[in-house]
Amino acid sequence: MLSLKPVPMCRLGRMGVSAVATLLLLASLPAAAELTFVDVTAEKFPDGIAASYYLWSDCDGDGDEDLLVGSKTIYINGGAPDFIFTKKTDTGDLAAAPHSVAQWIDINNDGYPDIFGIGGGDNERLFLNDGTCSFTDISDFDGDGTPDLGDGSPSTTVSVGDYDADGFLDVFVGNYERHCGGDPTVCADCLTDRLWHNLGNNTFENVYTSLGMEATEHASAGYCVNAETPCDTDADCPPYPQDNCKIGMCARSSAWVDYNNDGYLDLYVGNYRLDPNFLWENDGNGGFTQVSYLRNADGSDEGDGIWGHTLGVDWADFDNDGDMDVYIANLTHWWGAAAGHDACELRENSGEPDFAFADIRPSSGMRQHDPGSFSDWSEFTPTWGDYDLDGDLDIYTTQGYSTWDTNFSSLYSNNGDKTFTETTTAHGADLGLYQDYSAAWCDFDQDGDLDLITYGASAPENAPREAHLFRNDGANQNDWLQVQLRGSGAGGSNSFGVGARITATRTGISQIREVQGGHGYHAERNSLVQTFGFGVATGNPVDSLSIRWTTRSTEDFFDVPVGIRYTAWEAGTIQRGTDPSSPLPDLAGALMPYHDPVLDDGVTYFYEVSGIDDQTLMVDKDSTGGYV
Which structural domain, as residue segments, surrounds residue 535?
A: 481-576
Q: Are residues 347 and 458 both part of a single domain?
A: yes
Residue whose C-alpha is closest to residue 516's, from 535, 494, 533, 534:
494
Q: Are residues 97 and 113 both part of a single domain?
A: yes
- Whether 604 is covered by a domain: the verdict is no
Least confident of 154-158, 347-351, 579-583: 579-583
CATH of the domain at 150: 2.130.10.10
In angstroms, the CA 300 to CA 269 distance is: 15
Contact 595, 605 (CB under 8 A): no
Q: Are residues 445 and 502 both part of a single domain?
A: no
Band of pLDDT at residue 180, cut at 50, 70 and 90: confident
Residue 371 has what pLDDT? Answer: 78
Band of pLDDT at residue 207, cut at 50, 70 and 90: very high
Burial class (CB in 10 A: 0-12, 13-18, 19+), 376: buried
Contact 565, 446 (CB under 8 A): yes
- Whether 583 is covered by a domain: the verdict is no
Q: Which of 555, 576, 597 is the last residue of a domain?
A: 576
Q: Which of 452, 480, 508 is the last residue of a domain?
A: 480
Q: Are residues 149 and 165 both part of a single domain?
A: yes
Q: Are residues 75 and 104 both part of a single domain?
A: yes
Q: Are residues 470 and 493 both part of a single domain?
A: no
Q: Which of 480, 510, 542 is the last residue of a domain?
A: 480
Q: Are residues 473 and 505 both part of a single domain?
A: no
ω into residue 81 within 30 of 0, thus cis?
yes
Contact 276, 294 (CB under 8 A): no
What does the buried/exposed string (b/e) look like for 212-245 if buried means 16 or more CB atoms within 10 Å of the residue's CB? ebbebbbebbbbbbbeeeebeebeebeeeeebbb
Band of pLDDT at residue 402, cut at 50, 70 and 90: confident
Q: Are residues 415 and 498 both part of a single domain?
A: no
- Whether 616 is covered by a domain: the verdict is no
What share of the chain has pLDDT > 90, as a percent? 77
Of residues 543 and 586, the one with the higher pLDDT is: 543
Q: Is 18 helix (H, G, I), strand (E, B) or coil?
A: helix
Average pLDDT over residues 261-288: 97
- Whether 21 is covered by a domain: the verdict is no
CB-side neighbour CA atoms (13 Å) of 241: 7
> pLDDT (tens digit, 9 = 90+) per residue, 232-267?
999 999 998 889 999 999 999 999 999 999 999 999
- Whether 608 is covered by a domain: the verdict is no
Q: What is the tally of structural domains in the chain?
A: 2
Residue 312 has what pLDDT? Answer: 97
The pTM of the full predicted model, rounded to 2 decimals, is 0.88
Q: Are residues 346 and 493 both part of a single domain?
A: no
Q: Are residues 494 and 353 both part of a single domain?
A: no
Q: Are residues 522 and 420 both part of a single domain?
A: no
Burial class (CB in 10 A: 0-12, 13-18, 19+), 285: exposed
CB atoms within 10 A of CB 627: 15
Q: What angle do CA 259, 262, 263 make, to 5 degrees?
A: 90
- Whether 585 is covered by a domain: the verdict is no
Contact 94, 127 (CB under 8 A): yes
Q: Are residues 261 and 364 both part of a single domain?
A: yes
> pLDDT (tens digit, 9 = 90+) per residue, 410-436?
999 999 999 999 999 999 999 999 999
Residue whose C-alpha is closest to residue 78's, from 46, 102, 39, 124:
46
Residue whose C-alpha is closest to residue 547's, from 528, 570, 526, 564:
570
Sign of the CA dihedral running 102, 104, 109, 110: positive
